[in-house]
Structure 1
Amino acid sequence: MRKPLVAALFALVVAGTGAAPAVAAPAAPAPADAVAAPAIKAVTFAGTVSLSNCSGSVVRFPGSEDDDPALVMSNGHCLETGFPAAGEVVVDQPSTRTFGLLNSAGSRLGTLRASKIAYATMTDTDVSLYQLTTTYAQIKSSYGISALTLNDTHPTAGTAITVVSGYWKRTYACNVDGFSYRLKEGEWTWKDSVRYTSACQTIGGTSGSPVVDNATGKVVAVNNTGNEDGGRCTDNNPCEVDANGTVTVRKGINYAQETYQIPACFGLDNKLDLSRSGCTLPKP
């Protein structure tokens, strides 16, 4: 996985702390009868957070209410307690972890604090969800920031996406290349992982970044790993395993874990309920 601080200083020197702005070429005049394409809202840093060692975002579900306690999503391997073992699921564990909330330009607005780890695991997926001491409405009132919404449908191959790193204050733009039936790295195995096209060269510290659908602005996955050296199924070198057991290694290709299945596991007041109909997240 993209370990929290692996090669962070090196990456800082090579890539800098932010992405260089793109410069658009002058547009050619449109024909008089041309139909304007639907506007696509630019993906920004608004609602993302920086952790001490990773990236993350303030998220809500389609059914969340403004007075619900807000949630921050990152990776399971970004927990302050260390990597969960294969098969381990963390539920409702006290936490006072803090998160730096960012605005659209990537500037820090303030500090959010957790009350607990609502859910975390590195089994089948790689995700952590922290419940905060503040509600969505309170965050909006204090900082003018709205949470990112998790899409509750499966992502689609070919979708244009942006990986937004609050840790580095940097974005990575590419497309969903496809999906890995199983993605194996060391002792961990993840199901139906998102594979990026090669343009998304994510680095250490981008772990936990939301993967945003450029067209909808909704979160479709959480960034978590990449094959660094061409190794086969080892730490920092995940391999793809298909339904027949065939192993494929893609050096330099990076991955994320889908998040569409998460909303079904949370009910009224953003409360975790792993027994809800349609909830497929691993249970303790």
Structure 2
Amino acid sequence: MASKDKKLESTPCQSKSCVGKLIFLALCALFMIFQISQIKKTSDIIEDIGKSIRSEVCQTYIDEHPQEKHYFGKDLESIFNVKHALKTVSQNDFIENLLNGMDITQSERYQQDVIEYEKRTVQYGPYIERGFENDERFYIKLSSQQVGYGLFANVDILPNSVIGVYHGTLTHVKPYYTDTDYAWDYGTFPNPENPEENVEICIDGRTYGTWLRFVNHKNDAEANTYAIYVPYKNRWYIVYIARNFIPKDSELFISYGDSYWDARAETYDFEAEPEKAYNKEL
């Protein structure tokens, strides 16, 4: 009997011991969770400090080297006073009505190579339709003090890649009046209001355009991009295409054509070979 009573008396002690162990383990678990959360908070703080330091270092570098500052499509209006063009628009109703009354498939340009232009419509029409509003493949940066800003690749660009569409304002070119520094030729057409007069129209990207207006000139043999006319929905578009591989952070160049520099020979004091003279300043 004495032995049996002894066993019965020891049971409460064992129960208390188990409860104590459970409480201890729970406290240990809570402590570990607390420690883990503190470590995570510390890691986040260190990461934030690191980001802040990197940002400050980058900003200091940019302040000391303004030529290295990068601008993007969203900066066109705030930095360069250029309204970002998502499509090409007409300067006025006269030009809009003039172009709407034409069939570009019957134009001299189109008839010179019908099959080629049909292919271009199919191949590049979707790019024109979709647009390049959120394109992050490029950035604008100071090219040189002589040339000004240029367009640079933000990623590697493969050969034959579509760089973009040169949007702007379809403008009536008037000699000695219209600023065509940022313009591509659209075409020359008979004036419906005066049959003896022609209307020359350009796509002007000076104040309404895309970052393609910043692509600087090199002669055709050295340019890494080129432009083509693409007919789409009865309008001509100018599409920029990569001629060869363009490594990340390389500047894009295109040939403006001999006529562009011939027209500016007096202004830029160019001699017999304006393109070669221009390249000396790059």
> TM-score over 0.5 for the alignment?
no
Higher relative contact order (CA 8 A, sep 6+): 1
Tell me which structure has the larger Cα radius of gyration. Answer: 2
Q: Where is the strand percentage greater, Structure 1 or Structure 2? A: 1
TM-score of the pair, normalised by structure 1: 0.27
Q: Where is the helix percentage greater, Structure 1 or Structure 2? A: 2
TM-score of the pair, normalised by structure 2: 0.27
